[in-house]
Amino acid sequence: MSAVSSIAYVGSELELFAAAANWKAYLSRQLQGYLGDSVLEVGAGLGTTTLNLCRRPHRRWVCLEPDPAMTATLQAKRDAGELPACCEVRAGTLADLPTDERFDSIIYIDVLEHIEDDRGELQRAAEHLAPQGRIVVLAPAHQFLFSPFDQSIGHFRRYNRAMLQAAAPTGLACERQKYLDTVGLLASLGNRFVLGSGMPTPRQIWTWDKLMVPVSRFLDPLLFFTLGKSILGVWRKP
């Protein structure tokens, strides 16, 4: 049996953003219509996204995580009943999945920007989709906002619409592309070009989540989702 792929995660922001309740609720509303009966969550981290998105009964929800320490944390939460009963924890990457395993949805929530060969990754993901299955990607938007913070947590890039579409696998139809968090974009611009700071502070996260995200939830649809600091892409298999 071949060894399971493992990658040590270099970021330190997962705990910092875990308390961003308004953002998580907004994201959950945006994604619920794209989550099928069986879901593969690539880069499940500490399980925060799992708890946020796995809210209705799914037949199965696979948390795939290459970092051994985070895999152990996920498994401990699963064993303690802190993750939904439909969840199972897998160590490794897509390369460690059985070639015939299929899912209705494969999701990358703030993960794809950490993968150098993003197009190759999504092409491999497409091979694990059931018919009519979807790949869902949420990623940080706009390369001009790439900052020391991005570099410090292992980002290779940020995305605009063209960049994200260029990474899309062949044979899948683009079902949705839109930006989220208009006000957060303005804050990121200020942080990048005025303050020049790196890792956001807990106070900055609190201000963004409690004060800015609710305004973005109002503004984003009014602006037809054309501005934002995050980008959402959804592709569907014929």
The half-sphere exposure of 137 on its side-chain side, counting CA atoms within 13 A, is 33
Q: What is the pLDDT along the chain (238 residues), one digit of tens a residue?
A: 456 665 655 445 666 777 889 999 999 999 989 999 999 999 999 999 999 999 888 999 999 999 999 999 999 999 999 999 999 999 999 999 999 999 999 999 999 999 999 999 999 999 999 999 999 999 999 999 998 888 888 999 999 999 999 999 999 999 999 999 999 998 888 766 544 555 678 888 899 999 999 999 999 999 999 999 999 999 999 9
The H or E element containing residue 176 is strand 173-180
Structure tokens at 74: 């996920």
The pLDDT assigned to 9 comes to: 54
Q: For the chain, which residues make up each domain, given as ranges?
A: 14-236
The pLDDT assigned to 84 comes to: 95
pTM (global) more than 0.85: yes
Helices within the chain (DSSP H only): 14-17, 21-31, 48-53, 68-79, 118-126, 148-152, 161-166, 182-190, 202-207, 213-222
Which residue matches tokens 């399980």?
47
Structure tokens at 124: 């491999």
The alpha carbon of residue 72 and the mean position of all alpha carbons in its chain are separated, in whole angstroms, by 20
The alpha carbon of residue 69 and the mean position of all alpha carbons in its chain are separated, in whole angstroms, by 19
The pLDDT assigned to 17 comes to: 79
Which residue matches tokens 């993003």?
118
The pLDDT assigned to 42 comes to: 98
Residues 6+ apart with CB under 8 A from 37: 58, 59, 60, 104
The pLDDT assigned to 214 comes to: 97
CA quadruple 54, 129, 174, 213: dihedral, nearest 10: 20
CATH number corresponding to 14-236: 3.40.50.150
